């Protein structure tokens, strides 16, 4: 029996892959997906910082507007000397 689609499961995880910008909908934080460990997605804040774990069901791809908002917030914090 053959599948109608040559790769029935092209992505092993239903959430954004490593390297993608995503949003943790539980907290509203935008971050870079750093890995998938156990039942969690590891995320790092835009611009760097301490990673946090998010539940896969709470993570989705960040929209361009969400990425821009995170970049602006980081730039503003950096100009105030709040982040390196």
Q: Give which of 43, 76, 48 is closest to 60, Cα–Cα.
A: 43
Tokens for 37? 């460990």
pLDDT tens track, the chain, 84 positions? 444 444 444 445 567 999 999 999 999 999 999 999 889 999 999 988 999 999 999 999 999 999 999 999 999 999 999 987
What is the distance between the terminal CA atoms of the chain, rounded to a whole angstrom?
57
Total count of residues recorded for the chain: 84
Q: Strand (E) positions, 1-84?
A: 21-24, 29-37, 40-45, 52-54, 59-61
Q: What is the pLDDT of residue 61?
A: 96
């Amino acid at each position: 029996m053959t599948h109608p689609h040559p790769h029935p499961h092209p992505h092993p995880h239903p959430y954004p892959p490593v390297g993608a910008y995503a949003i943790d909908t539980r907290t509203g934080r935008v971050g870079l997906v750093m890995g998938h460990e156990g039942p969690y997605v590891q995320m790092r804040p835009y611009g760097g910082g301490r990673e946090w774990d998010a539940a896969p069901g709470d993570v989705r791809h960040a929209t361009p507007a969400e990425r821009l908002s995170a970049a602006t917030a980081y730039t503003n914090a950096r100009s105030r000397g709040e982040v390196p």
